[in-house]
Amino acid sequence: MYPREFEYVSAGSIAEACQALSDNPGAKVMSGGMSLIPMMKLRLLSPELVVDIGGIAGLGGISDNGDHVSIGALVRHADVASSSMIAEHATALGEAAAMTGDVQVRNRGTVCGAVAHADLAGDAPVAVIALEATMVAQSVRGTREIAAADFFVDTLTSALEGDEILTEIKIPKRSGKSSYDKLGRRGGRTDYAVAGVAAYVEMSGGVVVDCTVAITGVGAKPALASGVMEALQGSTGDEAAVAVAAARATEGVTLLEDLYGSEAYKGHLAEVFTKRAVAEAIARA
């Protein structure tokens, strides 16, 4: 179907895009268009104005900024999946990007766009939570930084205000290692996550000294698995310790049934993939 009629502006700069959003409440930002366009075509969403940031120069790079790696608003999933810098400092995000959509989607869709879209079964959102990334939001009112753990508010709802653009994701360089794994709707690691877990673990002297774990696909939003983190912290990270921690995967999560899993199954998968992702991160750490 065609979308309802809308105005379109191709912004030449972030400032111009921010101004357009400020002047037109309800306007939507488009980068790759992989989520926005289907929703508009199904008329689930009918913005009066689409602000296309795809033509803005300088937003398409992954850069090493000393203590953190920066991902610009127009960096594609495919770029992240194949970046050696990401593989080294943000392994979980690289893996999440490689498991997102299909080749066409990965070549067109952006990581920032997917994060801002805040799909409850998205891959990148949990990776940025586990990596304790910072989201940089820009608007005519200025620039602010939001911790990834606070960014995902509800289903398809992020902490971004209507006039803000997610211009950059900053991932701190840390000494631990990360991992992402999931079961996709079409089986294996294809398609949206039925359940997916990103884990970051830092080991020292045979003990887990730092860890962050986040789960996607099973509840209303991608979220931190605080119970898992609490149990893991200070443990040896051996198989038994990981199992004990994974048993707490759904603590505080309201499980949602969908076409791909009952609440019981989703809860079970959350545990299984917590084990897998955490064990892999520990093996790498």
Q: Which residues bind other proteins (CB under 8 A)?
A: 1-2, 4-5, 38, 42, 102, 183, 185-188, 190-192, 194, 259-262, 265, 268-269, 272
Indicate if the alpha-carbon torsion angle 223, 226, 227, 233 is positive or negative.
Answer: positive
Q: What secondary structure letter does DSSP report for 185? A: T
CB of 235 to other proteins, least distance (A): 21
Which two three-digit tokens encode residue 201? 């673990």
Phi-psi region of 33 (alpha: psi -120 to 50; beta: other; left: phi over 0): left
Smallest gap from Cβ 122 to other proteins, in A, equals 13
DSSP 221-232: S-EE-HHHHHHH
Shortest Å, Cβ 195 to other proteins:
9
Residue written as tokens 């810098």? 85
Question: Going by DSSP bridges, is the β-strand pair 28-30/49-52 parallel, antiparallel, or unpaired?
Answer: parallel
CB of 156 to other proteins, least distance (A): 14
Q: How far is the CB of 119 from other proteins (least distance, A)?
A: 11
Query: Of 109 and 261, which CB lies nearer to other proteins in the complex structure?
Result: 261
Nearer residue to other proteins within complex by CB, 146 or 265: 265
Q: Is 132 exposed, middle or buried (0-12, 13-18, 19+ CB in 10 A)?
A: middle
Judged by beta carbon, residue 149 or residue 256, the one nearer other proteins is 256
Nearer to other proteins, 59 or 246 (CB): 246
The minimum distance between CB 143 and other proteins, in angstroms, equals: 34
**Kind of pairing, strands 68-72 and 165-172?**
antiparallel
Residues 195 and 184 sit within 8 Å (Cβ to Cβ): no
Residue 1 or 57 having the CB closest to other proteins: 1
Q: Is the C-alpha dihedral spanning 112, 92, 119, 107 positive or negative?
A: positive
